[in-house]
């Protein structure tokens, strides 16, 4: 008797869960949509041009560029405030 009650309860819960799932399912009118194989597609005579895209958009990252140690030091020197002293002739107030 207890076993029967348990089976009934399990079944009820299962149905409830299914019912809830049914409610949450996205609304799709499957009956109206024709099967895919029956859709008539108008093929254009000329294939459309692909959307303009950057030619590296789907590429993998490139290997880091090779930078010599000296070049790296000079780049870092520029970043930290390239402080080579200017001669009075170089230090002008005019815009280049």
Partner 1 sequence: MKRPDLIHISAISLLAAATPAPTLALAQPPVVAPTLPAPAPPVVLPPAIVTPPPVPLPPLSAAQERWLNDWLKGGAEQGLMARDKATRPLQGDALLSAVIDRARALGTGRVDRADFLDIWALRPTPIDPRPGLAKAISEDRLPQWANGLTPPYAGYDGLRKGLANYERIRDSGGWATLTAQSAPDAVRKRIAIEDKAVTATEKLGDVLQRAQRRYGLNPTGLLDARTLKELNVPVEDRIAAIMANMERWRWMPRDLPVNRVQVNIAAAVLTVFEGDQPISSMRAVTGSPDNATPMLSSSIHSIVVNPPWNVPASIAKRELWPKGRAALARQGYKIVGTPETGERIVQPAGPNSALGRLKFDFNNPFAVYLHDTPSRAKFSSYDRLASHGCIRLEKPVPLAELMVASNPDLNGKIQSLIDTGKTQRVSLPKEVAVYLLYWTAFASNNGTMSFRSDPYGWDKLLAEKIEASSRRADPTAATAPTIASKD
* CA 10 to chain CA centroid, nearest Å: 43
What string of DSSP letters covers 11-63? HHHHHHHHHHHHHHSPP--TTTSPPGGG------SSPPPPPP--TTTTSPPPP
Residue of the chain from 38, 43, 59, 68 that contacts partner 1 (CB under 8 A)? 59
Instruction: Please report whether residue 61 would count as binding partner 1 according to CB under 8 A.
Output: yes
Please choose, out of 16-24, 28-36, 40-48, 78-86, the segment that lies near partner 1 by the rule CB under 8 A.
Answer: 78-86
Nearest-approach distance from CB 46 to partner 1, in angstroms = 20
Using the minimum distance from each CB to partner 1, give the nearer residue, 23 or 58: 58
């Amino acid at each position: 008797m207890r076993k029967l009650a348990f089976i009934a309860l399990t079944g009820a819960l299962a149905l409830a869960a299914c019912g809830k799932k049914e409610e949450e399912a996205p609304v799709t009118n499957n009956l109206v949509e024709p099967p895919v194989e029956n859709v008539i597609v108008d093929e254009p005579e000329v294939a459309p041009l692909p959307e303009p895209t950057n030619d590296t958009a789907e590429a993998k990252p490139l290997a880091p560029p090779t930078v010599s140690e000296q070049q790296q030091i000079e780049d870092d020197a520029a970043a930290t405030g390239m402080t080579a002293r200017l001669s009075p002739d170089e230090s002008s107030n005019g815009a280049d």
